[in-house]
């Protein structure tokens, strides 16, 4: 699974093996113990060699995916918002950067929504559509 996902991510960015190796090396230039080459990455893509944990971590950060995704344990279409809010990644909404206070408030709103959802009745109208009765008076139903 790892070779296919790495190849798909690289092709999705439309970069060559040489370009990927160069960009990975620029991310952490002082780390000469983990210098990447195009041949090395090509071997990973062909499944001939297996990268170390540090290399998988570097690739995940570069492509902005989880290590679980790269290793086939998770789908790219799923992401735990809890982990996202607790990560050190910069978050934006509508091209505005969320401050630490913003992150906290949005996290609390989402958390509160799911806690409150358990106690809210859900009603459907005759056509099966969700009826959004926002009144607090249950006698109006």
Contact 24, 16 (CB under 8 A): no
Asked whether residue 17 carries a pLDDT value surpassing 60, the answer given is: yes
pLDDT at 72: 84
- % of the chain with per-residue pLDDT over 90: 30
Mean pLDDT of the residues in the chain: 82
pLDDT at 77: 57
Q: How far apart are CA 15 and CA 62, in angstroms?
A: 13
pLDDT in tens, 48-62: 999 998 899 999 989
Asked whether residue 130 carries a pLDDT value surpassing 70, the answer given is: no
Q: Where are the alpha helices (DSSP H) in the chain?
A: 2-13, 17-27, 38-46, 53-63, 67-70, 81-86, 100-117
Total length of the chain = 141
Domains and CATH numbers, the chain: 2-70 (1.10.260.40), 81-121 (no CATH)
Read off the pLDDT band of 129 (50, 70, 90): low
| Average pLDDT of the residues in 71-100 | 78
According to DSSP, the residues that pair with 123 across neighbouring strands are: 131
Q: How far apart are CA 6 and CA 58, in angstroms?
A: 12
Give, in degrees to the nearest 5, the angle at Cα 64 between 75 and 50.
75
């Amino acid at each position: 699974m790892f070779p296919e996902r790495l190849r798909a991510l690289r092709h999705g960015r439309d970069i060559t093996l040489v370009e990927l190796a160069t960009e990975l090396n620029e991310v952490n230039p002082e780390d000469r113990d983990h210098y990447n080459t195009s041949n090395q990455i090509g071997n990973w893509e062909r499944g001939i060699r297996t990268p170390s944990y540090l290399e998988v971590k570097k690739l995940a950060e570069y492509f902005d995916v989880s290590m679980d995704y790269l290793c086939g344990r998770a789908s790219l279409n799923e992401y735990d918002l809890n982990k996202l809010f607790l990560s050190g990644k910069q978050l934006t909404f509508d091209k505005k950067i969320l401050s630490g206070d913003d992150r906290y408030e949005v996290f609390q709103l989402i958390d509160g929504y799911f806690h409150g959802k358990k106690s809210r009745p859900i009603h459907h109208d005759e056509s099966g559509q969700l009826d959004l009765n926002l009144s607090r008076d249950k006698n109006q139903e």
